[in-house]
Structure 1
Amino acid sequence: MNYSFGEFTLDTAGLELRVRGTPVSIEPKVLEILIYLVENRDRVVTRDELVAQVWNGRIVSDAAISSGISSARRALGDNGNEQRFIRTLHGRGFRFAYNEVCETTGETITRNEQSGTWTSQKIQFCHSSDGTRIAYATAGSGPPLIKAANWLSHLEFDWDSPIWRHLFQLLSRGSTFVRYDARGNGLSDWNVSDHSLERQLEDFEAVVDAAKFDKFSLIGLSQGSIRSVAYAARYPDRVDKLILIGGYTQGWKLRDDPGGLAYRHAALEMIKHWWDRENIAIRQMFTNMYIPDASPDLQQLFSEMQRRIISKENAEIMMKAMADEDIRPLLPKVTAPTLVIHARNDAAAPYSQGLELAAGIRGAEFVTLETANHHLLASDPVWKRCETLIRDFLDA
């Protein structure tokens, strides 16, 4: 059995703890403690129980138990003050405290809650025209559907993440679903400096060629809307249907949004000095913008994930690259049937940008969701409506 929580996967069969797919160095006894706590996460585990189950009833000092717990916390990047994963209940014992734990039978398997089946993804690599390595993943079967890359993604983490898995389950149900990590983050090449829209389109084209799709539907979330519209305008005969969620027509520097402009400039300065530190304050700025209504656990997961899937240098470069993008001249060139979905109180992509996106594409359907979440969570009351809109549009 595999347990996924935060950025970690705990493989009880292979006796391995992995972070972002990379094995973590951990002593065998410490790993046993962690496995036992995770498997019994629904209750408090006493010190005596740990001694009986992990040390087989041998005489063990309280100091040895405390040392084992501390080592387990260090392996998870936790500590006795934060107790993000392992909580000490004084006088009672210990409990695995992280609320979002996903049980799977393999690292690239996720459960489809509606059909009760298990869907696997296959990760492969291709190369863009400038040689940049691009990671892409394929899941499901049926008519082809590609998700354009957006800032901050990781093919492995996102697949099991409670932030994204409900969406990916939906998109891989009834479709051959392909997504990829943008250059500079996730499993794609980090050693790049050119993040221009033209390079991004070349990356997209490389994935399309590798997947061997002649014609396909296309979905763009957030920054992915820029790439999606640009591709659909350039290759109108290859895009069957187009879905844009939380999208925009202009980068943050070009919008009539003084508050948003000040926010982004401040974020750029903070990224330079704070992005890769343990303090999550800067990353929490983005979390509050993207998923303001998420639970504390999900917000903490999202904040920590950002540091692990992109370097501060690439985060700064990519944010600057998005500042001056403008696809308004391309909108009339899009001929595919288009569905535009936008949150009314979206702070990351203003509602006015969603309206402009839909108005510029002939015949596009526009739907407003009454939420503040830029990334729609399974717990969001509007998710069921969004799910129905997407599936009905693709199946029509």
Structure 2
Amino acid sequence: MEHHFADCTLDDSRLTLTRGGSAVAVEPKVFDLIHLLVRNAGDLVTRDRMVDEVWGGRIVSESAISACIAAARKAVGDTGKAQAVIRTVARRGLMLLAEVSGEAVTPVAVAARAIPAAAQRIRYCHSEDGRAIAYAVSGEGPPVLRFGPPLTNDLEMEWAHGLHRSSISSMELHARYLRFDNVGSGQSERVLRDIDFETEARDAAEVANAVGFERFAAVSFSGGCLPALNFAALYPERLTRLAIVGGYVEGRSRRSADASPDALKSMIAEGWARPASAFASAFMTSYFPEGPAEEAREILREMQAACPPEAMLRDRDAINDATVAHLLDQVRCPVLILHARDDAVHPLSQAQKLAAGIPRAELVVLETANHIPLYGSPCWESYNYTLAEFLTG
């Protein structure tokens, strides 16, 4: 069924939303909220009903609900100030103001009128030492560059997988989002290169140059904070703001004089080449103890495909011995640090150390044990909204 309202069309059989004839990327819960409002156009939809139908009756924070509402408004071209399409009824709920008309779509009509998901376009540039770097850019809005965990991303696999598509789609709603694979992994040139985080920062600069990003925001995930902070120190005039998710100041070997052997490295050595091995599963459970399990398995499959075991082991040694303590006071842009309260891989104390060392940095503590929030976790919506709001100002 197609539902037409304002300049939007919501197709609940194909789970698509278009505005002005163009496809709009929305997260599943945002789509479900819009669908709920469309089906009850002109009627009050209470917050209790939203929680029941969109979140399945689970306990959900007010910030998560507010983030979902804000994303729904943005998706239909509305704002919290204008409220021309979605009106807030104070202390009660929401109401869709636009008139809605419905139209059943036959299979033939679907084939003729459906707007397919855009195909990802991967391009290449070259590092200073001549290595090919794969990158892709999508979405509209202020420019944002991603520093992913070193050697664990694959542009093609993350575009195809549900978890990453949810994360990418969330960012595409707000920004022109630039992602790239590190040299030695993913779709970039597969070569064993000496691991140096300043070199990786310079690689990122080459990618930004190729796309035409002069000044831009950046987001780093996990070990991606190491090249990201090097970039902030090397190119202070180019970075407008930096978000650090699951970051740290010191690798585990530097955190104490009597650091125990790296169990995660042993898991990589024993299980990286065997996708279904117990060692590989234990590795992912360390990072994502709360699951969902299928999402964690999806990440594991991507990481195993992104680089061979020998490269991953070299990377593990490099990040264990890394420190960015000397760079913190050189960061000049606004910085937001998001970190899981119960992260067992990189403890919250490391995020606190980042926040204390970077001038005027802010810290947001996420209520999860997962190293990085996964789609389906209670803090997912508020995390995504907070991240996008900061990066795009």
Q: Which TM-score tier does this pair reach, normalised by the shorter chain? A: 0.5 to 0.7
Q: For 2:218, what is the secondary structure of its paired residue?
A: strand
Report what 1:135 is aligned to.
Answer: 134
Report what 2:194 is aligned to.
Answer: 194
Report what 2:164 is aligned to.
Answer: 164
Q: For 1:253, what is the secondary structure of its paired residue?
A: helix
Report what 1:381 is aligned to.
Answer: 378
Which 5+ residue runs of structure 1 have no aligned equivalent?
1-101, 104-108
Letter in 2 for 1:267: L
- Is the Cα contact below 8 Å between 1:283 and 1:306 reproduced in 2? no
- TM-score with structure 2 setting the length: 0.68
Report what 1:336 is aligned to.
Answer: 333
Letter in 2 for 1:129: E
Q: For 1:223, what is the secondary structure of its paired residue?
A: helix
Higher normalized contact order (CA 8 Å, seq sep 6+, divided by chain length) = 2
Map 1:182-221 to 2 at 5 A.
182-221=182-221
- Is the Cα contact below 8 Å between 1:110 and 1:160 reproduced in 2? no
C-alpha deviation, 1:222, in angstroms: 0.5
- 1:112 aligned to 2:23? no
- After superposition, the CA RMSD in angstroms is 2.5
Flag the 1:278–1:385 CA change in 2: closer, same or farther, 3 A.
closer
Report what 2:305 is aligned to.
Answer: 308
Q: Distance in 1 between matches of 2:137 and 2:128?
A: 21
Q: For 2:133, what is the secondary structure of its paired residue?
A: strand
Letter in 1 for 2:299: F
Report what 2:365 is aligned to.
Answer: 368
The C-alpha deviation readout for 1:171-196, integer Å capped at 9, x for no partner, is 22221110111122111122223111
C-alpha deviation, 1:268, in angstroms: 2.6
Which 5+ residue runs of structure 2 have no aligned equivalent?
1-14, 17-22, 31-74, 77-114
The C-alpha deviation readout for 1:238-276, integer Å capped at 9, x for no partner, is 1011111110111221113967x43x2x33344334321
Q: Distance in 2 between matches of 1:333 and 1:236?
A: 8
Q: Distance in 2 between matches of 1:300 and 1:392?
A: 29
C-alpha deviation, 1:112, in angstroms: 2.6
The C-alpha deviation readout for 1:329-359, integer Å capped at 9, x for no partner, is 1111111111111101112211111111111
Q: Distance in 2 between matches of 1:238 and 1:267?
A: 35
Flag the 1:163–1:202 CA change in 2: closer, same or farther, 3 A.
same
- Is the Cα contact below 8 Å between 1:119 and 1:139 reproduced in 2? no
Report what 1:246 is aligned to.
Answer: 246
Q: For 2:284, what is the secondary structure of its paired residue?
A: helix
Q: For 1:164, what is the secondary structure of its paired residue?
A: helix
Flag the 1:355–1:257 CA change in 2: closer, same or farther, 3 A.
farther
Q: Distance in 2 between matches of 1:235 and 1:374?
A: 28
Report what 2:89 is aligned to.
Answer: none
C-alpha deviation, 1:214, in angstroms: 0.9
C-alpha deviation, 1:150, in angstroms: 1.3
Q: Distance in 1 between matches of 2:267 and 2:362?
A: 38
The C-alpha deviation readout for 1:170-229, integer Å capped at 9, x for no partner, is 222221110111122111122223111132122112212211211000101111111111
Q: Distance in 1 between matches of 2:218 and 2:353?
A: 19
Map 1:173-184 to 2 at 5 A.
173-184=173-184
Flag the 1:213–1:278 CA change in 2: closer, same or farther, 3 A.
closer
C-alpha deviation, 1:391, in angstroms: 2.5
Letter in 2 for 1:195: I
Letter in 2 for 1:361: I
Q: Distance in 1 between matches of 2:122 and 2:217?
A: 20
Report what 2:105 is aligned to.
Answer: none
Report what 2:122 is aligned to.
Answer: 123
Letter in 2 for 1:126: C
C-alpha deviation, 1:321, in angstroms: 1.5
Letter in 1 for 2:146: K
Letter in 1 for 2:164: W
The C-alpha deviation readout for 1:100-120, integer Å capped at 9, x for no partner, is xx99xxxxx994334389565
Q: Distance in 2 between matches of 1:242 and 1:184?
A: 25
Q: Distance in 1 between matches of 2:179 and 2:257?
A: 31
Flag the 1:376–1:236 CA change in 2: closer, same or farther, 3 A.
same
- Is the Cα contact below 8 Å between 1:164 and 1:377 reproduced in 2? no
Q: Distance in 1 between matches of 2:239 and 2:386?
A: 19
Q: Distance in 2 between matches of 1:182 and 1:304?
A: 17
C-alpha deviation, 1:378, in angstroms: 1.7
Which among 353, 357, 371 is matched to residue 356 of structure 1? 353
Report what 1:284 is aligned to.
Answer: 281
The C-alpha deviation readout for 1:55-99, integer Å capped at 9, x for no partner, is xxxxxxxxxxxxxxxxxxxxxxxxxxxxxxxxxxxxxxxxxxxxx
Letter in 1 for 2:122: I
- TM-score with structure 1 setting the length: 0.68
State the number of aligned residues. 288
Q: For 1:171, what is the secondary structure of its paired residue?
A: helix
- Is the Cα contact below 8 Å between 2:127 and 2:203 reproduced in 1? yes
Flag the 1:268–1:395 CA change in 2: closer, same or farther, 3 A.
closer
Q: Distance in 1 between matches of 2:275 and 2:218?
A: 37
- 1:147 aligned to 2:146? yes
Q: Distance in 1 between matches of 2:165 and 2:355?
A: 27
Q: For 1:135, what is the secondary structure of its paired residue?
A: strand
- Is the Cα contact below 8 Å between 1:146 and 1:179 reproduced in 2? yes
Q: For 2:329, what is the secondary structure of its paired residue?
A: helix
Q: Distance in 1 between matches of 2:391 and 2:274?
A: 42
